Amino acid sequence: MTEALNRQALTSLLRRSELRRLLEVFNDGDEETRIVGGAVRNALLGRSVTEVDCTTTMLPDAIMERARRAGFKAVPTGIEHGTITVIVDGEPFEITTLREDVETDGRHAVVHFGRDFVRDAKRRDFTINALSLGIDGQLYDYTGGEADLAARRVRFIGEARIRIREDYLRIMRFFRFHAEYAQGEPDAEGLAASGAERQGLTILSKERIRHELLKLLAAKRAEETIRTLADHGFLTGLLDGVAELGRFERVAADDRDNPVATWRLAALAVMVGEDAERLREQLRLSNDEHRKLAAYAGLLSLLKTRTLPLEAGAIRRLVADHEPEVLGIVLAATAGEPFPVVHDEAREAIARYRNGTEPVPVFPLRGADLVEGGVPKGPMIGEMLAQARQAWLAEGCRTDASYAQELLERMLQQV
């Protein structure tokens, strides 16, 4: 199956004024600079291009020097690999000196700077990632990338097994790019080589795995690809635990327009609180990501043991204590499981809390209200508030002023 590629988009890309100015400055005399990789790929697919990487015959020092002379800000973001970020009118571009690998050990490569576009293309991972575009609109394809892109096929450049042994992260990248850009089954050679070299993933840094896995989880065809990973025995090692494919698929179907990798990870890999702790370490999660997984685990345990059906009132009580978003994710994940049982009106209520059309109820009393009513400051205040909050939850989380007043009076009468 082949689909037309959008060559017109390459012309539009080259008309962007910041990019044009950049390319004019860096194509001069004997020096040549081209757009490369993801920007060319995405333009041809008619997708939006947000990051533009360039590759050049110039050496890093010369890039810095020429950028300064042209009045562009230049930041040596990865100078040891030959990468400089050049900022034109606020827009950053990564410019990297042409490279060739001279030595690889499965995770790092020793690179030499070169002046050869063909060798630079051949050290890249997949044919669809190795296309380059000259300032004059010429598309350079040294590896058959255009045909693979038209066929929506992710294929290694050269022999898959050899390329994987140079850098085992390419196994993860193979599945990640397949999930985002391909149609049909994964390329058979790439799949077989990935399976055969699977053990190599264990030598990689957690940060590199994390980056690719989170991108994969949010990719267009994440569900099918995660299933392929499971079928071929990758998932247990990657997650260091069991996977809940059904929950993952339900959450992914639910958030398709706005995928959130962290929630998808929660649905896939979190069953109990301990999973959130393990994944934090395993995938070097940020505090915020970890907090989300832990909140998911907490609500999941709470709801899985709930035998009473959830109606709208129960949802109101739940969102008083838990973020509506987490609740929505847990309910999406467990839809179709025997517990919890959720009424339609409850699902509608949760949608309203999530999109903000119905405000989350906020407990209406403060310690100061009790003090004003004559309760002495001290531990009693906390106890009374906790008791009032229990009553408030049991009575439907009302937030109107008359209810708040009545609740306060009831509490004060007890003293």
Q: How far is the CB of 169 from ligand ATP (least distance, A)?
A: 5
Residue 185 class from Cβ within 10 Å (0-12 exposed, 13-18 middle, 19+ buried)? exposed
User: How far apart, in Å, are the Cα atoms of 216 and each of 56, 175, 176, 212, 265?
Assistant: 30, 7, 5, 6, 10
Question: Of 2-10, 14-22, 35-43, 166-174, which segment contacts Mg ion by CB under 5 A?
Answer: 35-43
Candidate list 34, 66, 153, 170; residue touching ligand ATP; CB under 6 A? 170
**CA nearest neighbour of 251 among 278, 215, 218:** 218
CA angle at residue 212 from 58 to 335, to 5 degrees? 150
In the three-class reduction of DSSP (H, G, I as helix; E, B as strand; rest coil), residue 184 is classed as coil
Q: Which is nearer to Mg ion, 38 or 324 (by Cβ)?
A: 38
Q: Does 200 bind ligand ATP (CB under 6 A)?
A: no
Per the CB < 8 A criterion, the answer to whether 45 and 13 are in contact is no
Candidate list 25, 64, 169, 217; residue touching ligand ATP; CB under 6 A? 169
Candidate list 5, 19, 38, 128; residue touching Mg ion; CB under 5 A? 38
Q: How far is the CB of 237 from Mg ion (least distance, A)?
A: 26
Contacted entry of ligand ATP, Mg ion, none for residue 125, CB cut-off 5 to 8 Å set by kind? ligand ATP
95's tokens: 């410019």
Give the distance, in angstroms, between the CA of residue 234 and the centroid of all CA atoms in the same chain. Answer: 19
The residue count for binding ligand ATP (CB under 6 A) is 11
The Cα 348–Cα 368 span in angstroms is: 36
Candidate list 32, 146, 148, 167; residue touching ligand ATP; CB under 6 A? 167
Q: What is the footprint of ligand ATP within residues 111-130 (CB under 6 A)?
A: 124-125, 129-130
Question: Of 30-38, 96-104, 137-145, 292-300, which segment contacts Mg ion by CB under 5 A?
Answer: 30-38
Q: Does 145 bind ligand ATP (CB under 6 A)?
A: no
Q: Which is nearer to ligand ATP, 121 or 350 (by Cβ)?
A: 121
The Cα 37–Cα 132 span in angstroms is: 7
Q: Token pair 């973001």 is at which residue?
A: 77
The Cα 135–Cα 34 span in angstroms is: 6
Q: How far is the CB of 12 from Mg ion (least distance, A)?
A: 19
Q: How far is the CB of 407 from ligand ATP (least distance, A)?
A: 54
Contacts of residue 85, defined as CB under 8 A and 6 or more positions apart, other chains included, come to 74, 75, 77, 92, 93, 94, 95
Q: How far is the CB of 327 from ligand ATP (least distance, A)?
A: 31
324's tokens: 């509506």
Q: How far is the CB of 134 from Mg ion (least distance, A)?
A: 20
Q: Which is nearer to Mg ion, 37 or 241 (by Cβ)?
A: 37
Per the CB < 8 A criterion, the answer to whether 272 and 278 are in contact is no
Q: How far is the CB of 38 from ligand ATP (least distance, A)?
A: 3
Please state the φ and ψ torsions of residue 100, each to the nearest 5 degrees: -140, 145
Question: Of 28-36, 37-45, 318-326, 353-361, which segment contacts Mg ion by CB under 5 A?
Answer: 37-45
Residue of minimal Cβ distance to Mg ion:
38
In the three-class reduction of DSSP (H, G, I as helix; E, B as strand; rest coil), residue 201 is classed as helix
The Cα 154–Cα 209 span in angstroms is: 19
Q: Which is nearer to ligand ATP, 261 or 312 (by Cβ)?
A: 261
Q: What is the footprint of Mg ion within residues 305-324 (CB under 5 A)?
A: none
Q: How far is the CB of 50 from ligand ATP (least distance, A)?
A: 8
State the angle between helix axes of 169-181 and 206-217 in degrees (0 to 180), rounded to the nearest 10.
10
Contact pattern from residue 30 through residue 59 relative to ligand ATP, giving x for each residue in contact according to CB under 6 A and a dash for the rest: -------xx--------------x------
The residue count for binding Mg ion (CB under 5 A) is 1
Contacted entry of ligand ATP, Mg ion, none for residue 167, CB cut-off 5 to 8 Å set by kind? ligand ATP
Residue of minimal Cβ distance to ligand ATP:
38
* Strand pairing class (33-36; 83-88): unpaired
The Cα 133–Cα 229 span in angstroms is: 34
Contacted entry of Mg ion, ligand ATP, none for residue 169, CB cut-off 5 to 8 Å set by kind? ligand ATP
Q: Does 146 bind ligand ATP (CB under 6 A)?
A: no
Q: Which is nearer to ligand ATP, 200 or 328 (by Cβ)?
A: 200
Per the CB < 8 A criterion, the answer to whether 316 and 346 are in contact is no
State the angle between helix axes of 169-181 and 188-196 in degrees (0 to 180), rounded to the nearest 10.
150
List contacts with ligand ATP (CB under 6 A): 37-38, 53, 124-125, 129-130, 167, 169-170, 173
List contacts with Mg ion (CB under 5 A): 38
